[in-house]
Amino acid sequence: MPLYHIWTIGCQMNKAESERLCSLFEQIGYQPAASIEEADLIILNSCVIRQSAENKVVSKIGTLKSLKKNNPGLKIALTGCLVDPDTDRLQKRFPVVDYFFKAGGMPPWIDKRLTANIIPSKPAVSTFINIIQGCNNFCSYCIVPYRRGREKSRTVDEIVCEAKTLVERGAKELILVGQNVDSYGNDLPDKPDLAALLEDINKIDGLKRLRFLTNHPKDMSDRLIDAIATLDKVCEEINLPAQAGDDQILNAMRRGYTSAQYRNLVKRIRARVPDIAISTDIIVGFPGETEEQFKASVDLLKELRFDNTHIAAYSARTGTIASREYKDNVPPEVKKERVAIVEKLQGEIAAEINAGMLDKTVEVLVEGKKQGKWHGRSRRGKLVFFNNKNDLLGQVVKIKIEKASSWSLQGSLVDM
């Protein structure tokens, strides 16, 4: 039997797409290779969101040359956001790669009938479903719309049908993914929205939890906030990237909201769904960002106290509006310093929020075992570890929290 290996970096979209590729290869008779060296087919699922991600992909490709020498039958395919329409140029840049296919696409050498609708036969306890491809927002710094194209929603029927099948096959939690899930349905004939989709999926018997990401502050609707408040399976956790706290920077980023509007939205969400966990993304060192403008981001984080902050130093991406219009003029050491300041602050905030969980009991959906310990997440998305000798995979258990850090919680099972 031929062996395959998939290497993945980047966001949840890539992870979701890699899961689908795994099930495709297994359905057509491939088996996972024990290591990349043993594979007959290597798929690289790439990310180019920042130069550092692109560098990782390029160096990975570099390591594959020697593998081809040892195994002349080896085929290598590159997908993900490094793949642009100019495959001739890519082929010249990466002669070792045999096939290129765009992010979210399917391997071109495999019959289309086989790739039409692949659903994993053994999904994970928590499984991603892609509900919308692409992005129409063109935030000035971002490469995604150029690599993933315009928004294209899958139909409600298709998604619900896939969700049912995944649950029948063992999934307990579904995570709906898209670059901007708030745009879901805008391009479909009867314009369903994410709230309506959640309502339909919430009805599936056997499903325990439902999450979604990523939200866009300019598009998040009251209907969606209501859906989080009222639908029992929808978890109290959202990802709401702020990107910056200064209005001039937000405007140059083309985010479509002011920091006052963002603050207001967070207040509305928290008023309607008390205790909701909110995480955010922040970019530091955007072109022209002054000390004062950076401080506005710090103040936003201090004031709103997010559960988590994904922090990135601005990286100019060729082809984007920002890379054409602005000079990447914040020195690397200043960016580094700003990243460190935000990381430290967020670490402190998360530690305080998590310390507030001590002695409380949370419901954990058990996702797996690592180094002898069970792990899973609370409804608010906190990673929880505990010991137990029984097989609890896929069950929702009550855990009393005994230890807390910035990153995770530890506790023990409460008798039910």
Residues that bind ligand F3S (CB under 6 A): 10-11, 13-14, 47-49, 80-81, 143-144, 148
- Interface with ligand SF4, residue 42, by CB under 6 A: no
Among 5, 50, 75, 172, binds ligand SAH (CB under 6 A): 50
Distances, alpha carbon 165 to alpha carbons 170, 193, 205, 290, 336, in Å: 9, 22, 11, 51, 46
Closest CA to 153 of 179, 127, 128, 174: 179
In the bound state with ligand F3S, the residue whose beta carbon lies nearer, of 85 and 356, is: 85
By CB under 6 A, how many residues form the interface with ligand SF4?
Answer: 10
The entry of ligand SAH, ligand SF4, ligand F3S, none near residue 314 (CB within 5 to 8 angstroms by kind) is ligand SAH
Cα(251)–Cα(267) distance, rounded to whole angstroms?
22
Cα(322)–Cα(334) distance, rounded to whole angstroms?
19
Q: Which stretch binds ligand SF4 (CB under 6 A): 114-122, 137-145, 187-195, 294-302?
A: 137-145
- Interface with ligand SAH, residue 159, by CB under 6 A: no
Shortest CB 351 distance to ligand SF4, Å: 28
Name the strand (E) or helix (H) holding 336.
helix 332-355
Shortest CB 314 distance to ligand SF4, Å: 12
Among 130, 315, 346, 354, binds ligand SAH (CB under 6 A): 315
Contact at 8 Å (CB) between 141 and 312?
no
What beta strand segments (E) does 126-267 contain? 126-130, 132-133, 152-153, 173-177, 209-213, 237-239
Q: Which stretch binds ligand SF4 (CB under 6 A): 81-89, 130-138, 296-304, 377-385?
A: 130-138
Cα(146)–Cα(163) distance, rounded to whole angstroms?
29
- What residues contact residue 391 under an 8 Å CB cut-off, 6+ apart? none
Among 9, 135, 175, 195, binds ligand SF4 (CB under 6 A): 135
Q: Which two tokens stand for residue 202?
A: 């919430």
Contact at 8 Å (CB) between 377 and 333?
no
In the bound state with ligand F3S, the residue whose beta carbon lies nearer, of 14 and 354, is: 14
In the bound state with ligand SF4, the residue whose beta carbon lies nearer, of 120 and 178, is: 178
**Residue numbers of the site for ligand SAH (CB under 6 A)?**
11, 49-50, 141-142, 144, 179-180, 214, 216, 241, 243, 281, 283, 312, 314-315, 317
